């Protein structure tokens, strides 16, 4: 977390401290109240990119709120300009580009569009107040601004293989990244409460699902209603009686034999209403057993979808796109989510490209307040792309080889099974590759009360494979394993370097109260960023604190534990 730039002091000391800091140490943070006007240079010295900050902010004195609002507006303008640039580039250069380069640019276009939406929402919040926000509101905007940086970085990474595109776009992308970082730093300083923490009791946040039939839409077909009642009456694993109710506005049934409303998942999603709000309830899509060979993309306007299948290995969504066959990593996913409030239950998601095809994503998730319960994710390299925003996974199975849980969301995995598989000979397995690029991003991977064991093909491998908990994909990579079972096949060092000493002092890797023969920390790496932590620090990475789960998980019906177990 970022340190406070302006702790409260007496007003009589402000002028002395300001002059002293400018003369003695330009980079020294100034101890003044948040609403005190300061020169832009003084405020910029405490951001990750002081020089760029000074070139953007007006050369005058203002408080952190005024500068913060200005910076958000500049970030929005920058994203709009980038979108225009990409439109023109694709229009004028398409004929000279390879299909892979075009796909990378189209990824950038999609991500820039997302950034415009997120920045517009953020601007609406910061324009309303010049005070520290309540924790939940602050986390909302900090998550948006963190995702904006992630989207920018994903675009930048995607064009690196194409020299002409890289040369043409690197400068505007780099400048945008610096600007968004400054915006996040100023927001974190002005609007985010310091030292926020909830202290839930371990069991008070357990939730189950109880549909409220009275809110069902009268337009539901008799066939859909019959299936709905069957689901309720059979009391599926998810649908247990509990204290909280999940409101359903309508239901669609997908069945390949034609007995439902639709035969494909995409058609059912297209039929869902656009831009629902939480109070409307979920549009429930019940997907009967079968193998669905579809590439599914849930756009940002398809909010509050609830997909329920017939169970792991019963309802299967499968595809085989891969980097080896010309896709970008971002666009190789079989199933992609960009919508808020998405929930999936009892479904297997696959990418069957195989270990020789490189990055091949089963699920990419950008959905804020998204949850997967009793699902399976099966691929090899880059199985589950937890790309951005706030996510939760409960009682899921995740299979893969290299970096198979990766991305830059704020995400908690709870009571999940993690299965490294047999990679190509000569490859090492790394479970996580977390992609935090900025110290003010509220992102990271938290793995709580999970089981880390070898998949059957790894256990029977005829060649030796080294297995690690993770490696630092980006400079501020952050991953915590806590209260989990770790089997003996994990290397005693625990963690693997990415490239030399890259990120070893800036990452945050931690372990807390794990169990099993692979949990012994006595021979772990000795990097500056690696820690064996206690309960106080571990509490920061619980559902209630890390993804603010108490504010959104109850409405999903997915059970969870808010605190330490």
Look at the alpha carbons of 57, 62, 68, 72 in this order and tell me if their dihedral is positive or negative: negative
Q: Which residues pair with 413 in a beta bridge?
A: 393, 447
Strand 348-351 relative to strand 61-62, pairing: unpaired
Closest by CA to 379, choosing from 359, 406, 399, is: 399
DSSP 384-405: EEE-SSEEEEES-EEEESEEEE
Q: Is 403 a catalytic residue?
A: yes
Measuring CA to CA, how many Å separate 227 from each of 213, 254, 255, 472, 518?
13, 11, 11, 46, 45
DSSP 196-208: ------TTTT---
Query: Are the C-beta atoms of 353 and 320 separated by less than 8 Å?
Result: yes
Q: Whole-angstrom Cα distance, residue 467 to residue 449?
A: 19
- For the chain, what is the radius of gyration of the CA atoms? 24
The structure tokens listed for 189 are 């300083």
Q: Which residues pair with 410 in a beta bridge?
A: 390, 444
Q: Whole-angstrom Cα distance, residue 454 to residue 194?
A: 41
From 366, 403, 491, 550, the catalytic residue: 403
Query: Are the C-beta atoms of 126 and 541 separated by less than 8 Å?
Result: no
Q: Whole-angstrom Cα distance, residue 7 to residue 195?
A: 13
Please list the active-site residues: 403
């Amino acid at each position: 977390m970022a340190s406070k730039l302006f702790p409260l002091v007496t007003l009589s000391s402000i002028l002395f401290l300001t002059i002293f800091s400018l003369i003695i140490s330009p980079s020294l943070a100034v101890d003044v109240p948040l609403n005190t006007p300061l020169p832009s240079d003084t405020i910029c010295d405490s951001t990750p990119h002081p020089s760029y900050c000074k070139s953007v902010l007006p050369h005058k004195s203002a408080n952190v709120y005024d500068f913060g609002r200005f910076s958000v507006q500049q970030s929005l303008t920058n994203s709009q300009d980038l979108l225009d640039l990409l439109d023109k580039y694709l229009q004028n250069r398409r004929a000279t580009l390879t299909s892979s380069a075009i796909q990378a640019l189209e990824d950038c276009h999609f991500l820039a569009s997302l950034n415009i939406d997120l920045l517009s929402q953020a601007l609406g919040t910061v324009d309303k107040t010049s005070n520290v926000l309540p924790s939940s509101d602050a986390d909302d905007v900090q998550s948006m601004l963190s995702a904006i940086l992630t989207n920018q970085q994903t675009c930048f990474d995607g064009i690196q293989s194409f020299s002409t595109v890289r040369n043409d776009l690197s400068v505007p992308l780099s400048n945008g990244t610096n600007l968004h970082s400054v915006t996040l730093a100023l927001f974190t300083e002005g609007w985010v409460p310091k030292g926020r923490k909830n202290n839930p009791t371990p069991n008070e946040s357990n939730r189950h699902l109880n549909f409220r039939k009275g809110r069902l839409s009268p337009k539901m077909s008799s066939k859909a209603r019959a299936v709905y009642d069957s689901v309720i009456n059979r009391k599926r694993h998810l649908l247990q009686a509990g204290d909280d109710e999940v409101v359903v506005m309508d239901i669609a049934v997908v069945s390949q034999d034609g007995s439902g409303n639709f035969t494909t998942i995409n058609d059912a999603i297209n039929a869902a209403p656009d831009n629902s709000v939480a109070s409307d309830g979920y549009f429930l899509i019940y997907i009967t057993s079968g193998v669905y060979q579809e590439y599914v993309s849930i756009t940002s306007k398809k909010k509050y979808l609830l997909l329920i299948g017939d169970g792991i290995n019963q309802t299967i969504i499968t595809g085989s796109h891969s980097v080896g066959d010309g896709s970008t990593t971002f666009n190789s996913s079989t199933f992609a989510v960009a919508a808020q409030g998405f929930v999936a239950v009892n479904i297997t998601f696959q990418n069957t490209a195989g270990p020789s095809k490189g990055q091949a994503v089963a699920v990419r998730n950008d959905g804020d307040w998204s949850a997967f319960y009793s699902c399976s994710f099966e691929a090899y390299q880059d199985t589950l792309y937890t790309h951005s925003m706030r996510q939760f996974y409960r009682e899921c199975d995740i299979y893969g080889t290299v970096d198979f849980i990766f991305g830059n969301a704020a995400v908690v995995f709870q009571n999940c099974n993690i299965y490294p598989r047999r990679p190509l000979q000569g490859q090492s397995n790394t479970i996580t590759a977390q992609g935090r690029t900025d110290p003010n991003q509220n992102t990271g991977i938290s793995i709580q009360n999970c089981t880390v064991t070898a998949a059957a093909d790894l256990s029977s491998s005829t060649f030796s494979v080294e297995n690690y908990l993770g490696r630092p994909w980006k400079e501020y990579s952050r991953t915590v394993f806590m209260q989990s079972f770790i089997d003996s096949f994990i290397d005693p060092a625990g963690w693997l370097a990415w490239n030399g000493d890259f990120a070893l002092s800036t990452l945050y890797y931690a372990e807390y109260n794990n169990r099993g023969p692979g949990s012994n920390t006595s021979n772990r790496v000795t990097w500056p960023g690696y820690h064996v932590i206690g309960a106080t620090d571990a509490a920061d990475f619980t559902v209630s604190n890390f993804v603010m789960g108490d504010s959104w998980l109850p409405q999903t019906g997915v059970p969870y534990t808010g605190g330490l177990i």
